[in-house]
Amino acid sequence: MSNNDPSNINQLLEMAKVESINYLMDVDSFPVFPTNNALKLLQLFDEEIPTKQNDPIDTLKKLAAIGSKTTVNQSGSRYFGFVNGGILPIGIASRWLADTWDQNAALEVMSPISAKLEQVCEQWIIELLNLPNTTKMGLVGGTSVATLCGLAAARNHQYKKMNWDVNENGLIGAPKLRIIMGDQTHGTVSKMVKLLGFGAKSIEIVPSDDQGRMIVDRLPVIDESCILILQAGNVCSGSFDDFNAICRIANMLGAWTHIDGAFGLWAQASEQLKHLTLGMELADSWSVDGHKTLNTPYDCGVILCKHPTAITEALHQQGSYIELGKSRDNMIYTPDMSRRARGIDLWACLHHLGKEGLASLLNRLHEGARYLAKHLQEMGYVIENDIHFNQVIVYAGNETSTRQVLKKLQSSGVIWCGSATWKGKFIIRLSVCSWQTNEHDLAKAIEEFRKALR
Ligand SMILES: *Cc1c(COP(=O)(O)O)cnc(C)c1O
């Protein structure tokens, strides 16, 4: 067995191709969530690490045989769980190619093509999201880490104004910064706030209205020691904070605003939906995912920051061997150095969609959520939110019935969706976020909800 034998590579990649195509062709006939029986196959992975080398063909065969029966069918069209999103075919194809190229996106000198394509993505995203043209973009694994980057930039910037060099002095003995966020802030945000050394005691919580938006009148007194964290797209209701009002106050008083817009920030790219993000360009930093609404491959988180110095001072790494390029070095905007060139597949998805394709994708997701809400309501379900974007909160009248309905839906194999607690109630949460979901899929979803009521 020789790993470099070209026929071996041909055979291996051919097999991956055939397996992938078969998977995508069949995927809508599999249960959306693997059955308990299928999941038993996962036990076949419980084995000692092989002593001898295996033929890669055998390795791939084993993976394909078990994997294609045990995956959660997110690349199909009837997965409404979490806010996960599907994957565009161009995303799969470009990612294959990028993986084959094995580019390290850290520095321009390591991969000029990744540097170029990230620079292009930066420009395109600035235009799509109507951001200030000083904005810098970094690519990370997801919105969680993107938020970490935005808050690290915020910390650096706010301390600098107080004449405290946080890189030099750290946090011990530092003046206090105040973190202000809504009571509906995503869990990843508080995690990152704590990771940055602020501690829960630095956090001031603003109550939210019935849709989960921060109540502007309930903001505490803002000053220049504040970092405000706002949200574009609540994971349950899909609602957006009032950026226009809050950012204006923050900007006047010298506070930093970061918007967590994991899936919602893209709303700005649709004429029909951009009223939701009004004033978002007034913020200082934004985090958003490619892998949710945009349907890029995992893992693609985007940090955008209006102040180049703040983000690079927070995240820049030094080393005698580091040779910075002339145009763009991706690693100066993110915590990591070596990483996959996710800018390649991000570029490919944006290039394929274009402005119109993206807008029509966004509009379809919104229409899909409205369709579900309307029909579920007619059937007697309570829809607990206004349909701002692509999220629907469903309640079956009481907790017991809601749990029963959820259980039936999750074991139906036809659709899958999750649950949450919303304003004290146990609810079912639907997210329309796959490019593939069409009227047919939505009708099937409605039918499952009807069956589950019986
Ligand atoms: C998904 C999500 C996150 C976390 O993003 P990851 O890409 O999973 O790291 C943060 N905030 C909101 C509002 C989200 O929807």
DSSP string, 375-404: HHHHTTPEE-S--SSSEEEEE-SSHHHHHH
Residues near ligand 1 with C-beta < 6 Å?
83, 142-144, 186, 188, 233, 235, 260, 262-263, 289, 301
Return per-residue pLDDT of the chain as tens, 454 residues.
455 677 789 999 999 999 999 999 998 889 999 999 999 999 999 999 999 999 999 999 999 999 999 999 998 899 999 999 999 999 999 999 999 999 999 999 999 999 999 999 999 999 999 999 999 999 999 999 999 999 999 999 999 999 999 999 999 999 999 999 999 999 999 999 999 999 999 999 999 999 999 999 999 999 999 999 999 999 999 999 999 999 999 999 999 999 999 999 999 999 999 999 999 999 999 999 999 999 999 999 999 999 999 999 999 876 667 677 777 889 999 999 999 999 999 999 999 999 999 999 999 999 999 999 999 999 999 999 999 999 999 999 999 999 999 999 999 999 999 999 999 999 999 999 999 999 999 999 999 999 999 8
CA of 18 to the centre of ligand 1 (A): 33
Distance between Cα 451 and ligand 1 center (Å): 32
Which pair of structure tokens corresponds to residue 353?
A: 């969609």
Strand order in the sheet with 382-383: 382-383, 391-395, 425-431, 418-422
Atom of ligand 1 nearest to the CA of 234: 13
Q: Distance, CA 143 to ligand 1 centroid (Å)? A: 5
Secondary-structure breakdown of the chain: helix, strand, coil percentages, each rounded to the nearest 5: 50, 15, 40
Q: Determine the distance separating the centroid of ligand 1 and the alpha carbon of 173, expressed in angstroms.
A: 32
Mind listing the pLDDT tens digit for each residue in 397-423? 999 999 999 999 999 999 999 999 999
Start-to-end CA span in the chain (Å): 59
Closest-lying ligand 1 atom to the alpha carbon of residue 291 = 7
Cα separation, 154 vs 135, in Å, equals 14
Spatial distance between the Cα atoms of 206 and 222, rounded to a whole number of angstroms: 12
**Three-state secondary structure string covering 345-382:** HHHHHHHHHHHHHHHHHHHHHHHHHHHHHHHHHHCCCE
CA of 144 to the centre of ligand 1 (A): 6
pLDDT of residue 1: 47
CA of 422 to the centre of ligand 1 (A): 17
pLDDT at residue number 4? 62
> Which residue minimizes the CA distance to atom 13 of ligand 1?
262
Atom of ligand 1 nearest to the CA of 289: 7
| pTM score of the predicted model | 0.97
**Among 121, 127, 189, which Cα is nearest to 333's?**
121
Closest residue by Cα to atom 12, ligand 1, is: 262
Pocket test for ligand 1, best of 74, 143, 181, 295 (most atoms within 8 A of CB): 143
Nearest ligand 1 atom, CA 142:
7
